[in-house]
Amino acid sequence: MYFRSIMRCYSTMGRKFIVGGNWKMNGSKKSICEILGFLKKGPICPDVEVFIGVPFVYLEEVAKNKPDNVIVAAENCYKVPSGAFTGEVSPAMLLDIGVNWVILGHSERRHIFGESDCLIGEKCKHAIENGMTVVACVGETLDEREGGKTNEVIFRQLKAIADHIGKECWSKIVLAYEPVWAIGSGKTATPDQAQEVHQSIRCWVKENVGKDIGEAIRIQYGGSVTGKSCGELSKKPDIDGFLVGGASLKPEFITIVNAKSS
Ligand code: PGA
């Protein structure tokens, strides 16, 4: 594949395009071998940052066998280093095995496992203060969107993060806007719907955290992104990449990674 212009992987504000795979609770030794195969084959545009969210049990194996241009991320972690928290994993443990990226606040954590805005803020704080980069997810449900509450919900989720972390932490955050109604449903937000919310998120960060921080922060879109839908979405000025669930398990992920450069 020929990358027409490397510069197109950057927005006018110099934000590097970033695409993440979120494997969720999927994968086996066999299927992971196949995924690593297509990631190695690529080719991946050199100016796109790529990460994959991997279930805890496979993290070390994937970290050992992944190509150098792909970062390995955990899909969750807890808010303290160690202790009586059966079933939990801490940033200290992830760092111990060489993993320093984590996805936090995914809507499945919020809605299936009952994680509150406050807990997600605390997790972001602990992870970042201990040297991790966090992909922090926000997004509204269908009822909330239909009730005209999209901004209210997203600003509340952002505030819970901002309330817990200092300004200096924001360079270690990538935001992911994932409308809950679009996740795993085959209903991708239209490029205009996504852009509208991305712009609101950027404005909120500029006004409530800092102008420079709002300009620099990267905001991924997630929710049924496919090889077909990624091209138009990637043209929107405030969409800086994607967080991809189902399609990240398939070779189609490479098309999404290269959305901005093909
Ligand atoms: P999906 O998932 O691409 O399968 O909709 C996205 C996500 O949950 O991050």
| Residue 237 CA to ligand 1 centre (angstroms) | 21
* Locus of tokens 């450069």: 261
Q: Does ligand 1 come within 6 angstroms of the Cβ of 184?
A: yes
- Of 243, 249, 252, 253, best ligand 1 pocket probe by most atoms within 8 Å of the beta carbon: 243
The H or E element spanning position 242 is strand 241-244
Q: Does ligand 1 come within 6 angstroms of the Cβ of 245?
A: yes
- Of 225, 255, 256, best ligand 1 pocket probe by most atoms within 8 Å of the beta carbon: 225
| Residue 20 CA to ligand 1 centre (angstroms) | 10
| Residue 83 CA to ligand 1 centre (angstroms) | 32
| Residue 141 CA to ligand 1 centre (angstroms) | 14
What string of pLDDT tens digits covers the 262 residues of the chain?
A: 445 444 455 665 789 999 999 999 999 999 999 999 999 999 999 999 999 999 999 999 999 999 999 999 999 999 999 999 999 999 999 999 999 999 999 999 999 999 999 999 999 999 999 999 999 999 999 999 999 999 999 999 999 999 999 999 999 999 999 999 999 998 889 999 999 999 999 999 999 999 999 999 999 999 999 999 999 999 999 999 999 999 999 999 999 999 998 6
Q: Does ligand 1 come within 6 angstroms of the Cβ of 244?
A: yes
Structural domains in the chain, CATH included, are 18-257 (3.20.20.70)
What's the rounded Cα separation, in Å, for the pair 244 and 221? Answer: 8
Relative to the CA of 22, which ligand 1 atom is closest? 9
Buried b (16+ CB within 10 A) or exposed e, 228-259: ebbeebbebebbbbbbbbbbbbbebbbbbbbb
What's the rounded Cα separation, in Å, for the pair 66 and 83? Answer: 31
Question: Would you name the residues annotated as active-site residues?
Answer: 106, 178
